Structure 1
Amino acid sequence: MRPIDLAREHGLSAQAVRNYDDAGILPPTVRTETGYRRYTPLHAQALRAFLALRGGHGHQQALEIMRATNRGDSESAYRLIDAAHVALLTERNTRTEVATALGSLSTTAPTPLRGRPLTVGELARRLGVHPATLRTWEAAGILDPERDQATGYRRYGPDCVRDAEIVRQLRRGGYLLHQVAQFIESLREAGGTDALTAFLDSWQDRLRTRSRNLLTGAAQLDTYLTMLDQT
């Protein structure tokens, strides 16, 4: 087969196939006396495996997996694949923690702060916690109060007070500080609880898609490995 023959199946250019060949994605290629590349079904399957792996692992990691496979270093290839699954599981657990934290919040919204920002003592009394607790939350990266330019004292504005009230609810629910920090960060990035709900749904869809892509890539790579064993 010629480069264009491999390219047509995937809507690629012949040059893209040659580039993948030069990058080590395909097994060693036989050339004719005039220097033209000639490919076999083994090369076609290697290209299928790479493109499928890319959907779940990304371009660079898929490239490294194929390079390791083609040089006979299956241990390195398997480690890369395993690492991707570990990372996906970690991300899935993080998403579950954030979703559970959202579901544990009271359906009653905190009373909005009106007027001037609160001091440490005022916010502590509002929440029913010790001022040192607020400093602990700040040290954990959960709260980020402003500072009075003249005195250097902390000043807790409306957003900071809202976050502190959410933290209090989550801590009462038994959540650890790092879990609370993850939730607050996700809440800020999403722009509120309603937006966070939509964000979590989208996040779940992305996780499902990546899981399926990893399975598809593994299946194509397994076919390629079987063909390698038969050569």
Structure 2
Amino acid sequence: MREKLQSRVRLRPVDLARPHGLSTQAVRNYEEAGVLPAAERTESGYRTYTPLHARALGTFLALVPGHGHQAARGVMRAVNRGAVDEAFLLIDESHAQLLEDRRTLRAVESALRDLGPEASGSGPAGSPVSTSTSTFIGPLAGRLSLRPATLRKWEDAGLVRPRRDPLTGYRVYGEADVRDARLVHQLRRGGYLLEQIAPLIDQVRAAGGLAPLEAALGDWRSRLSARGRALLSGAAELEAYLLELSTAGTTA
């Protein structure tokens, strides 16, 4: 009985928009995008919504913090057209991405611990690797107990970016290049593949070095935790919406 009564309740776009601080145009846009089920129309052409539409909007907005707008929109569109398994696949992909981001964070933290508090120090063979002056491929490879070909391979993968001496054409590794080479070496020893290392090196470069990156790890961890909780909250809202959809289908 309650479901039948709710299905008779008619809401205006503003009734959906106001609780979330949205414009009525945003509500109409969400409907056109498939985030909301199609609205009924009055004889004069005005849209009328029901509590089910309000639930759909609330579900979408709850999904956005964990999944992002694009994935959340895809989930709602799939659910509204009855393709629930497709929606679950999108949800799984968001969880997989969060897991990969957590692994990335853990790898960076582990590499920083292994490298020590300074980017300079001793290489695996005990030879000091200076990051205050430039060096060439041979000396750097020797200090890291690597073959020069390995450093060239890392360069081809974009993991190290030495400049070329304009006169000799030799590779010249500056402070940041030595830092990147040491970090790549440490991660390779930990079993990481080159394609897994690439985003970690990008994080280091974006942070401006190891020290700024280490300082940002706490914030990074907090944001991952917030995404994890947002995924849980979004899942709860989606489950409630799926149940309401099921009930609406059986009482139609």
Q: Distance in 2 between matches of 1:175 and 1:218?
A: 34
Instruction: Give SS of 2:21's match.
Output: coil
Q: CA deviation at 1:161?
A: 3.0
Question: TM-score normalised to the size of structure 1?
Answer: 0.87
1:202 is matched with 219
CA 1:27/1:174 → structure 2, altered by over 3 Å: closer, same or farther? Answer: closer
The answer on whether the counterparts of 2:111 and 2:183 sit within 8 Å (CA) in structure 1 is no
Shift in Å at residue 224 of structure 1?
0.9
CA offset at residue 71 of structure 1? 1.0
Q: Is the 8 A contact 1:104 1:170 kept in 2?
A: no
CA distance in 1 between partners of 2:211 and 2:118 (Å): 14
- Equivalence for 1:67: 77
Equivalent residue, structure 1, for 2:40: 30
* Cα-to-partner distance string for 1:138-159 (whole Å, 9 max, x where unaligned): 3343222111223322222233
* 1:224 corresponding residue in structure 2: 241
Structure 2 CA distance for aligned equivalents of residues 184 and 225 of structure 1 = 42
1:17 matched to 2:24:
no
1:52 to 42, 62, 68: 62
Q: Which has the higher contact order (CA 8 A, sep 6+)?
A: 1
What residue in structure 1 maps to residue 162 of structure 2?
Answer: 145
> What does residue 192 of structure 2 align with?
176
The CA deviation at 1:36 is 2.0
Preserved contact between residue 140 and residue 177 of structure 1 (Cα < 8 Å): no
Contact map agreement 1:98 1:182 (CA 8 A) in 2: no
Whole-angstrom distance in 1 between the partners of 2:29 and 2:206? 39
Residues 176, 209 of structure 2: 8 Å contact kept: no
Whether the 8 Å CA contact 1:163–1:184 is kept in 2: the answer is yes
CA gap of 1:114–1:19, structure 2 versus 1, over 3 A, is: closer
Call closer, same or farther: CA 1:199–1:35 in 2, change over 3 Å. Answer: same
* Structure 1 unaligned residues grouped into runs of 5+: none
Letter in 2 for 1:196: L
Which residue number in structure 1 is paired with residue 175 of structure 2?
A: 158
Deviations 1:31-81 (A, max 9, x none): 222222222111110110111112222222212211111111111111111
Q: How does 1:104-143 map onto structure 2 within 5 Å? A: 104-107=114-117, 109-110=119-120, 112-113=130-131, 117-143=134-160
Letter in 1 for 2:207: A
2:112 matched to 1:102? yes
> In the comparison of the two structures, how many residue pairs are matched?
229
- Is residue 105–residue 170 contact of structure 1 (8 Å, CA) maintained in 2? no
Q: CA RMSD in A?
A: 2.3
